[in-house]
Amino acid sequence: MESTVWPVYSPFAKMHFGKGLEAGRAQGEARAVLTILEARGIPISDSDRAFIRACTDLGLLDGWVRRAATATSAADLFAEE
């Protein structure tokens, strides 16, 4: 059986390999934040929605997912701990 793993040898490949995966993960985390807020009936402004979707910081997005589970408003999502 042939391997389906693409070898990353060139400097270009090493620099860019995996960046698409990170971007996809960030999009998924942002979607999770918005889905949780929607499911809980918490309104979110268009500007906050755009801000969440534009975020690429996986650590920050992970924190927002956790906060979305207990937030009572969109402001709670962005509040400093």
Cα angle at 54 between 48 and 57, to 5 degrees? 110
| pLDDT digit string, tens, across residues 2-36 | 556 666 677 776 666 667 778 889 999 999 999 99
Its pTM stands at 0.76
Report the pLDDT value the prediction gives residue 3, as an integer from 0 to 100: 56
| pLDDT digit string, tens, across residues 35-68 | 999 999 999 999 999 999 999 999 999 999 999 9
Report the pLDDT value the prediction gives residue 7, as an integer from 0 to 100: 65
Report the pLDDT value the prediction gives residue 10, as an integer from 0 to 100: 73
Q: Alpha-carbon distance 9 to 72, whole Å?
A: 49
Cα angle at 33 between 29 and 36, to 5 degrees? 130
